[in-house]
Chain A
Amino acid sequence: MSGALFLGWRYLARHRFKSGILIASITLMLFLPAATRLLVQDSATALTARADQTPLILGARGSELELVLNTLYFHAETPAEIENRTFVEAQSTGLADFIPIHSRFHAQGAPIVGTSLDYFDFRGLHVASGRQMGLLGECIIGANVARRLGLGPGDSIISSPETVFDIAGVYPLKLTIAGVMEAAGTADDDAVFVDVRTSWIIQGLGHGHVDLAEPEAGGAVLSRRDGVVTANASLTQYAEITRDNISAFHFHGSAESFPLTSVIAVPPDQKNTALLRGRYQDNELLQLVVPGNVLDDLLETVFAVQNYVILGLAILSFATIAVITLVFLLSQQLRRGEFHTLLRIGASKGYVAILVASEIGFVFLLSAILAAGLTLVTRYYAMQILQTFLTL
């Protein structure tokens, strides 16, 4: 028995190119449907898990999917903005805890999420090193961002320029990293969190510059009339908020009109949930969505596509098996002389059958191991791939 296995193994090893092609074909045949199914299942589980942890999302009317993906995964495709007033008014109802989200900007490839400290309690996020953000211009970064960029507490990260071709526009803001969060295995690991007011400064709604009453601002002052000072674009704005200049930062306009991308609503019970949903049901400008329902609709489509993909792969697998069988039968015919020699030397027909079976077994075993390995690797990276896809 072991002799037949050895001969089978040696045959495959000697014809490694042919064996390699067979193994690669069968590996792909096993791997593709398995990986497709696993990827879809894992993605569905991950998507629905985060969605189910988020009871309601309030946002502007428009694409529900964009609103949910931006709120849950900080997807780059931003939904229409709502005013901070919506958040304030919602809070005043007392029907739920509300958490503002302003996810529109990026810093070195990571989404910047403007929010409140309630967000961290809501998601169960903890600081691994450093401290929670406290001052304007501070941020706290996800574990993946810290690892990828090699950053830690005390370092800084710069927001991406939003107005590259406007020299008088908003310049990137240098954010001081107050802390790094523990890895949570979610989209939060890949984000840079700031206070929502800091995100408004990044947007240019607030800024800091030298006091226009001071003489050094003189060159930038266009006029002083009735206590209103008008400056031109040469006025130097601070690109970093420090303890020395934080008092110079201020906002123009009413904070209630400042933008948010969404508001997470966490009602305490079903009754408040129903009341909240009713409140926004007929609102022409706002929508209150249940993220789980939105993603279920998406997943229904994904599962339907998955079934078609697997059907296609099954047909392809059938064709592959047919070709492999043909190749194998032709190979056996070519090897009839070898089998005859073995029989003449003293091997039984059973021995020859074991030899042939061992070759088939080795090919399928190696293919199965490779397919399983590839599937595990794919599964390992699936969430990262999904995360990348969702934040693109």
Chain B
Amino acid sequence: MINISELAFRYRGRGSNLESSFSMQVQEFAVPLGASTALVGPSGSGKTTLLGLIAGTLRATSGSIIVNDQAITGFSDNELGRYRIRSVGQVFQAFELLGYLTVIENVMLPWYISGNGVKADIRKRAADLLLDVGLESKQSAMPGELSQGEQQRVAVCRAMLNNPPVLLADEPTGNLDQANKQNVVDLLVEQAKRNNSTLLMVTHDESLLNKFDSVLDMRNVAQPLEVKSQR
């Protein structure tokens, strides 16, 4: 279960000729355990920011985020790192596989970071995940040798390696064709259900919404307080 209450976030970025700030506030927000939820809303409504806050890569200015009874808003940077490794699986729009690792090594990347568990067991788990997504023959291939759909399937396997209770996907189908979009979403939903993970996925594609248990429109849960960008 993900519970969010009285959450506020303010961001102020600075570049050479660009200054922008972004703030949003979420009053109440809850995603039940094991459910798959699509997060929709217009650009700039704070979908990616919300995923970042839940993943712990962004820090809330105030309010609380409780993930499976853990108040992650009070975590230190190191605790957030451990939390991400143990409790959160993330799938990114651009796959973000490491080009110098083989497919199975990419799936095992969370283990290379955490070192938790026996390597042989983790390798078997990675191989099983690749078998599930039909990439068992590509274990030793490099990411550059795969199609985009295959790369995203590897990214899903990587996110699932540690059986995370929370699975976050930020527009994972943004770079895929229609057939691959359906496949990847089916895979995410299926893996989340199999693992009893809470899936929260950002998407702009309305054709995919029927695959989720619920749909949350950011406009109903969050209010962007200020969006300012000036050159």
* A interface residue numbers (CB < 8 A to B): 1-4, 6-7, 10-11, 13-15, 337-338, 341-349, 351
The 10 closest A-B pairs by CB, nearest first: A14-B100, A346-B85, A3-B112, A346-B84, A341-B96, A347-B113, A348-B81, A346-B81, A11-B100, A344-B57
Closest residue of A by beta carbon distance from B108 = A3
Partner of B112, one of A7, A15, A341, A348: A7
Q: How far is A10 from B98 in the complex, measured between Cα atoms in Å?
A: 10
Closest residue of A by beta carbon distance from B115 = A3
Which residues from B are CB-within-8-Å of A343? 57
Quote the shortest CB–CB distance from B102 to chain A (angstroms).
9
Which residues from A are CB-within-8-Å of B84? 344-346
Contacts A345-B90, A347-B113 given; indicate if A337 touches B82 (C-beta within 8 A): no
Given A7-B98, A344-B55, A344-B84, list of 20 further CB < 8 A pairs?
A: A2-B115, A3-B113, A4-B112, A7-B101, A14-B99, A14-B100, A15-B100, A337-B96, A338-B98, A343-B57, A344-B90, A345-B84, A345-B113, A346-B81, A346-B110, A346-B113, A347-B81, A347-B113, A349-B77, A351-B113
Determine chain A's interface SS by DSSP, over half rule: helix
Return 19 A-B CB contacts under 8 Å, by A number: A3-B112, A6-B112, A7-B112, A10-B100, A10-B105, A15-B100, A337-B96, A338-B98, A341-B98, A344-B55, A345-B84, A345-B90, A345-B109, A346-B82, A346-B84, A346-B88, A346-B110, A348-B78, A349-B77
Q: Does B111 contact A (CB under 8 A)?
A: yes
Q: How far is A10 from B104 in the complex, measured between Cα atoms in Å?
A: 13
Q: Does B114 contact A (CB under 8 A)?
A: yes
Whether A342 and B113, one on each chain, are in contact in the complex, defined by CB atoms closer than 8 angstroms, is: yes
Q: How far is A344 from B105 in the complex, measured between Cα atoms in Å?
A: 17
Q: How far is A351 from B115 in the complex, measured between Cα atoms in Å?
A: 12
Closest residue of A by beta carbon distance from B52 = A344
Quote the shortest CB–CB distance from B221 to chain A (angstroms).
23
Closest residue of B by beta carbon distance from A340 = B96
Which residues from A are CB-within-8-Å of B22? none
Q: How far is A392 from B113 in the complex, measured between Cα atoms in Å?
A: 61
Quote the shortest CB–CB distance from A252 to chain B (angstroms).
82
Q: How far is A341 from B90 in the complex, measured between Cα atoms in Å?
A: 10
Q: How far is A348 from B75 in the complex, measured between Cα atoms in Å?
A: 14
